[in-house]
Amino acid sequence: MQLNECINFMLTNVQNAVFLCFKKQLQQYNVTPIQYALLKCLWDEDEQAPSQLAQRLYLDSSTVTGIMSRLEEKALIVREYSKTDRRRIIVRLTDAGRALQKPIEALIEETNRQVTQGLSAQEQRQLREQLLHIADQANHLAAQ
């Protein structure tokens, strides 16, 4: 098999190219793609535990802790102890974090459109389904 036929190599190249594109677009908001992903989780449902965010983003807790620290330094989120259970930490958006939702979501939507330009709606749907299938297969094989 040629290297450029290996699914891992192809997906890595595509992921790197798309990541760099999104990173460049998000620079104007001083947010990285993974920071956007965590913000998106909070825009969808504010006030979540770090473990919820880690699970939703498929990341380990230490990685999420680092992302939260950088977002906290930018005053986009705060971490607070729960009022009902002092052992539990809750992550919530600040007003500044909430204010980024509309412009960043518009930017993400436009960048998605540009990156997939040339693919029909059906081809885009098929691509998503195929990528999910590959992820399911790889997860199944890794669990064996």
Give the per-residue pLDDT at 26: 98
Give the per-residue pLDDT at 90: 94
Distances (CA, A) of 27 to 2, 20, 23, 24, 132: 36, 11, 6, 5, 28
Give the per-residue pLDDT at 40: 98
Give 10-residue mean pLDDT values along the chain (144 residues).
92 96 98 98 96 95 96 97 84 98 98 96 96 95 94
Give the per-residue pLDDT at 82: 79
Q: Are 50 and 64 in contact (CB under 8 A)?
A: yes
Q: Are 50 and 94 in contact (CB under 8 A)?
A: no
